[in-house]
Structure 1
Amino acid sequence: MHNNKLIEQVGANISQGKPSAYNKAQQQAPLNTEQKQALTNAINQLFAELELTYHNQYLKAFSSADKLGYAKKLWFDYLKGFAPDRILLACRKATRESEYLPTIHTLIKYCEVSTGELGLPDTYQAYIEACQAPSPKTEYSWSHPAVYWAGKASDWFFLSSNIEAKTLPVFKRHYEALCERIKKGETLAPPEHLALPNDKAKPLSSEQKRERLAQLRKEIKL
């Protein structure tokens, strides 16, 4: 009875436009009609695939039409910040990897972009790269700009002159903060390459050459 009341309250909140705790932290722009329909289709397909994969567990979890309807509204609310195709990919990944009916929080985790998808090495690989990269650091071919900026923020001298137990936590903090920014859509600038010195001097004019020669003769008293 308590669960039914809770589901009804959740459904009422959604129908009244009240944001869930997740969406308070993940504010999204309002969806237009086309986006709502695409997301609704994805949610319906997601539930159809879950029913086929986890038949008995599914029927137990959504034992009535009301429960299923409220569940779909709840999942729609929680997943509306993700593209429909990403939701379906997350569903298929969950069904491949788990023998149990996934929860909504499991689906959210599968929907989130991984560091690997963004071309980011894992934290320890990034740390080793930052420690071993030769100087000048700006000229090195980094696996990702985040590794360079995390190394710079950690201080190159600090990384090279202290033990891993001391330097890794510092690098980890900077690197993972940068990874979170990238996951939210931020693009990091590449390392600034050092300007090469201009070795080609501007040729002297005939007049300047005569002045230089006269000055030289004067200095050596010719």
Structure 2
Amino acid sequence: MADFPVEQILKGAKHAIEHSEYLPTLNRMIECCQAGLVEYGLPAPHDAYVEACQAASPRSAQPWSHPAVYLAGRDSDWFFLANNEERMTWPVYRGHYQKYCAAVLRGEELSVPAPEALEKETAEPLSREEQLEQLRKLRESSGL
């Protein structure tokens, strides 16, 4: 249950109570909480974590299942996620993801920033003489 924001647990509890004759089991509560996330297009927390860890660069250009997945990965630090064990990275990612899930449940709109554009103007190549001059300067500055 720690994977879900408080708002989602309350919504899941309300759903479970309305659609059950008996008090829900822990398994049933988890199912109800996950079902509530799906209504907003949010993947389950661990699925979001796996998606973020497996994303290729540039990450902002990837097709994300939901912007919250990207934003939680960004806030967790991509390098940290890629270079550490799950036992260290999962709690960090989960905390950020819960924050963004709560924001979505409150009605906030999240978006992935657009990837940086390439230069519009291409540089003109240097002439042969300019290349030789740059090479000479490089040799002088490096002591070769």
Same fold flag (TM > 0.5): yes
* Match of residue 191 from structure 1: 113
- Within the candidate set 99, 116, 125, 2:21 is matched to 99
**AA paired with 2:63?**
S
Q: Distance in 2 between matches of 1:169 and 1:153?
A: 13
Deviations 1:159-179 (A, max 9, x none): 000000000000000001110
Identity of aligned residues (%): 47
**Residues 1:172 and 2:94 are matched in the alignment:** yes
Instruction: Point out where structure 1 has 5 or more consecutive residues left out of the alignment.
Output: 1-89, 103-109, 203-212
Q: Distance in 2 between matches of 1:177 and 1:201?
A: 44
Cα shift at 1:99: 2.2
TM-score under structure 1 length normalisation: 0.42
Higher relative contact order (CA 8 A, sep 6+): 2
Deviations 1:52-104 (A, max 9, x none): xxxxxxxxxxxxxxxxxxxxxxxxxxxxxxxxxxxxxx5xx755x422499xx
**Is the Cα contact below 8 Å between 1:142 and 1:148 reproduced in 2?**
yes
- Within the candidate set 151, 173, 186, 2:73 is matched to 151
Q: Distance in 2 between matches of 1:101 and 1:157?
A: 43
**AA paired with 1:171?**
Y
TM-score under structure 2 length normalisation: 0.63
Aligned residues: 106
**Residues 1:134 and 2:56 are matched in the alignment:** yes
Instruction: Point out where structure 2 has 5 or more consecutive residues left out of the alignment.
Output: 1-14, 25-31, 134-144
Q: Choose 1 or 2 for highest CA Rg.
A: 1
